[in-house]
Amino acid sequence: MKKVDYKALSIILLVFIIPCFIYYSKYENIRNSIENNSITLFDENKAENKVNALLEENRDKELINNTSYEKFVYLSFKKDEIMTHFVVDIKTGEETTILNYVKEDKKTEFFNKIKELLYLKYPKFIASNLEGEEQILDVELLENELIIYYKGDSVEPKIEDQLLLHVNYNEVKDYLDFTLALDNKYENENGYHYNKNKKTVALTFDDGPNGEKTNRLLNILEENKAHATFFMVGNRMESGRDTILNVLNKGNEIGSHSYSHQNMKRMRLNDVIQGEKKTREIYKSITGKDLLYTRPPYGNITSQIKSNLDTIFINWNLDTEDWLHRDKDKIVNAVLKDIDDGDIILMHDSYDTTVEAVEELLPELYVRGYQVVSVSELATLKNITLEQHHLYYSLKEV
C-alpha cells in the first residue's frame, strides 16, 4: 500500500483549496451586499410606485401635500372640502398611518399628552369617549401641527360636529420619529376660550351658598367647560366661606342677593341700602373683592331703589321654576324648549333636582351649540357694557 504523501497534500491544500475558500468567502460577501443593495433599491421603487399609484388614483382631486419625511411619504388631497390623507412607508412601500411613527418607547407619553389636550378642549362627556387609539379616525399633517380626527360615535348626547384636535408639534416632538417645523407662538385649544360667534347664555343660581350642593354644581360646571353667576344672600356668606372661595377659584362669579332675602319692595330705601352695604363688606372680608351685581329677591325692585342703590341689577328672562317643581325633567325641559341666544337662566343651588338637571342640561346645550357662561362673560361676548342703576333681563347683542 502506498504511503500517503502528506507533503503533497499540504501543498495542494495551500495552493488550491485555501485560496478557493478565501475567494468564495469574499465572493459571498460581495454577493450578499449586492443582494442587500438590490433589496433596498427594489423597496425604494416600491414606495415610489405606491406614491405614483396613489397620485394616479386620486388625480380627480386637488393635491395639497406631497412631502417626504424621514421614514414616510405623506400625501393629502382635497375634493369638495373633503380631505384624504395617505402615508406610505419608505422601506416597505406599504400604506400605513402617522401613528406608526410614534417612538415605540414613547407611546404612553404621547397618548397621555393627547388625553391632556383633549380634556383641555372638550367637556368630559366628549373627551372621555375619545381616549384610546381605536377612537382615532385619521391624522392630518400640517407644517407645524398634526390634526387628529375622531370617530366619536360613542359620545352621548350625539354630536353633529366633526370631533378633532389640533396638536402643535412642540407638544409632541419628543415622542415622534419625524420632524415638523417648530413654532414658538401657539395656543392649545381651550374649551374655556369662549367664542363671540356662538350662541351663549348665562346661568345663574340664587339663594346660596349651599355647601355640598353648590360644590357639586361647581364640579359639573367644570366638567362641561361652563361658568355661572351665583347670587348669594349676605347673611349666609360667613358660614359659606369655603364654598365662596371655591366658586371663584373655578372661574365663576358672585353677585349679591340682598342681605336677608326680604322683598325690597316692602322695605324702606335706607334698609335696602344698609343691607347691601353689609353684604358687600362681608363679601370683601372673605374674598378681597367687590360685588358688582345685585339680583333683588323675587326680582322685585322699585324705581326709587333702582336710582338710589349703586349697583347693576340682574334679573332673568328664562325661569326654570326649579324651586316650585323640584323635578329634574321639568327643569331640563323648561330650558330646552325656550332657550335662545343671550338668555339669562334662573335656578337655585338649593335643590338636588336642580343639580341633577344641570348635569343633564350642560352636555345637551353643548351639542346644541350653546356656550354657558357667567353674566359678565355673556356681557363681554355680546359687546354690552353693563351700567349701574339699570335692570337687565337678558343680554342680547346690540
Among 89, 140, 171, 206, binds Zn ion (CB under 5 A): 206
CA 119 to chain centre: 5
- Smallest gap from Cβ 299 to Zn ion, in A, equals 9
The phi, psi pair for 244, rounded to 5°, reads -60, -45
Reply yes or no on whether 348 is catalytic. Answer: yes
Of 206, 341, 343, 349, the active-site residue reads 206
- Smallest gap from Cβ 389 to Zn ion, in A, equals 21
For residues 135 and 354, which CB has a smaller minimum distance to Zn ion in the complex? 354
CA angle, corner 211, sides to 376 and 348, nearest 5? 55
Residues contacting residue 2 through CB under 8 Å, at least 6 positions apart: none
Q: Indicate the residue whose CB is closest to Zn ion.
A: 206
- From the list 15-23, 78-86, 200-208, 240-248, the region that binds Zn ion by CB under 5 A is 200-208
Reply yes or no on whether 227 is catalytic. Answer: no
Q: At what angle do helices 328-338 and 352-367 cross, to 10 degrees?
A: 30
- From the list 122-130, 205-213, 235-243, 310-318, the region that binds Zn ion by CB under 5 A is 205-213
- Smallest gap from Cβ 278 to Zn ion, in A, equals 17
For residues 225 and 236, which CB has a smaller minimum distance to Zn ion in the complex? 236
Counts of helices then strands in the chain (DSSP H, E)? 14, 16
- Smallest gap from Cβ 65 to Zn ion, in A, equals 59
Residues contacting residue 361 through CB under 8 Å, at least 6 positions apart: 331, 332, 335, 336
By CB under 5 A, is residue 322 in contact with Zn ion? no
In 3D space, the residue among 237, 221, 196 whose CA is nearest the CA of residue 355 turns out to be 221
**What does the alpha-carbon distance between residue 243 and residue 255 come to, in Å, rounded to a whole number?**
14
- Smallest gap from Cβ 169 to Zn ion, in A, equals 51
Contact between 294 and 258 under an 8 Å Cβ cutoff? The reply is yes
Tell me how many residues contact Zn ion (CB under 5 A). 3
Binding mask 287-316 for Zn ion (x = CB under 5 A): ----------x-------------------
**What does the alpha-carbon distance between residue 247 and residue 228 come to, in Å, rounded to a whole number?**
9
Among 89, 140, 171, 207, binds Zn ion (CB under 5 A): 207
Active site residues: 206, 348
Q: Which residues of this chain interact with Zn ion, rule CB under 5 A?
A: 206-207, 297
